[in-house]
Amino acid sequence: MKAITENAPLAPLTTLRIGGAAKKLWTVDSEDECVAAIRQLDQDGERFFVLGGGSNVVIADEGFDGTALHLIYEGAEHQQRDDDWFAIDASAGDDWALLVDALVEAGLSGVECLAGIPGLVGATPIQNVGAYGQEVATTIEAVRVYNRATQQVEELTPEQCGFGYRTSALKGNKDLVVLGVCFLLQRSPLSAPIGYRELAEKLDVELGERAEAEATRSAVLELRRAKGMLLDERDHDTWSAGSFFTNPILTVAEFERLGQRVREHCGDEAASPRFDAAGGMVKSSAAWLIEQAGFSRGEQRGEVALSFKHTLALTNRGDASATELLAFAHEIAARVDELFAVQLHPEPALIGVEW
């Protein structure tokens, strides 16, 4: 049954609590209804975007002159492949944080470092969601999509998904709408190898070692809470879209030029954090660059502020607008570019606004 609301406010459906109304909000509670809704919208020539948990999106103050397709359907099926491996077929509308909790509690390993990330399962392959040295791409076996070009439900392999750092072939591809994701996880009381130094130190293990999966999940939740990255209605530091900027991925030559700029601006002993990235590239730290550019935690512009706990989160202090938010974000990015010749790029999806 269609559940359509006219002139529907979207801000309450996002973690930033920012944005205007959609001409229509179509709430779908099953995969079949989602496919039928998309086919109907395409037939009518109606613009639409898919709204999941609203945790990684910035919506224009003017709202959206079309339909927001709101996914609320859930359901994950477990299939044992052999003694040690399980396939988890999760619906796009499943709550990601709750799913991770359930999987870890069931003794399945591979997503424990992704605990506490807000949003729905359908968004995870699009962004190749990752945190604390872990990415969903390492556990995804297949992604089920509706292909608007072929008007068919299709299953994509990881290779077809083209996963990269916080991106995939699904990102920005308006023809492909994620309906569900199949994860392949190992039954083990231990985590995957720990690949993030801060987490390794908290767990008191060496990089590359394993820890108890449940202890790893708990440690990640503690770290996220300390950085304002666990949703709390009462805490404006969590009224954000998470990390607003992705960490810059640079060539070796670009990183060397960054090093020179850092020494010129910050002193001869200063050095930008460096992490190896795929394809011989180098990843630096957006948060570190923002701080070195002179921005501090809690710094405010109108109703928008950098989180008091983490400089990568732009937060709504109560009644912020998308215009204010993006103006502050541009100010930060321009200053980093001016000082260090590094361009920062926003991580959230932008609806009705451009970067």
Give me the active site residues, please. Answer: 166, 243, 347
**Identity at 91, one-letter amino acid code:** S
Pairing of strands 85-91, 76-80: antiparallel
Token pair belonging to 265: 């601006």
Cα distances from 81 to residues 100, 103, 310, in angstroms, run: 19, 16, 41
DSSP 141: E
Secondary structure tally for the chain: helices H, strands E = 9, 20
C-beta of residue 210 within 8 angstroms of C-beta of residue 191: yes
| Beta-bridge partners for 156 | 143
The count of C-alpha atoms lying within 13 angstroms of the C-alpha of 281, restricted to the half-sphere facing its C-beta, is 11
Cα gap 89→16, rounded to integer Å: 29
**Identity at 39, one-letter amino acid code:** R
Strands (E), 282-344: 282-283, 300-301, 304-306, 314-316
**Identity at 44, one-letter amino acid code:** D
Task: Work out the number of other CB atoms within 10 angstroms of the CB of residue 269.
Answer: 6
